[in-house]
Amino acid sequence: MPVAMTVGQYGVIVIDDNGRLLWEWKHPNVAMYGLDVDPETGNFYVALYNRIMEVTRTGRVVWQFSSPETIGLHSLQRTPEGTILVACAPYDRVLEID
């Protein structure tokens, strides 16, 4: 099932193969820069500019990682080991979050 991030709308949408909207989640005030979905739980992981969140399909935040500074977290990906790799754009580095 296709999943997309709507950067201009500050949210995540799930659509069917015909492009029909099946589900959406919107964050009230922060642009998103990365998205990954856990195929087992359906939870999604989203990179907001200074934090990473795991969110259920009901919109409940399971956990979040916040940076003490605004560091430009982008492009996240879950690893087979269960950690999350996140690019930190301004500093040319990658964080691994356990």
pLDDT confidence of residue 13? 78
From the first residue on, what is the mean pLDDT of each consecutive set of 10 residues in the chain (98 residues)? 60 81 76 80 82 88 80 83 85 84
Rounded Cα distance, 88 and 34, in Å: 11
> Taking the model in full, what pTM does it have?
0.77
Count of domains forming the chain: 1
Closest CA to 5 of 35, 48, 41: 35
Domain ranges, residue 44: 3-97
Q: What is the pLDDT of residue 21?
A: 85
CATH number of residue 26's parent domain: 2.40.10.500
> Given this model, what pLDDT does residue 29 score?
64
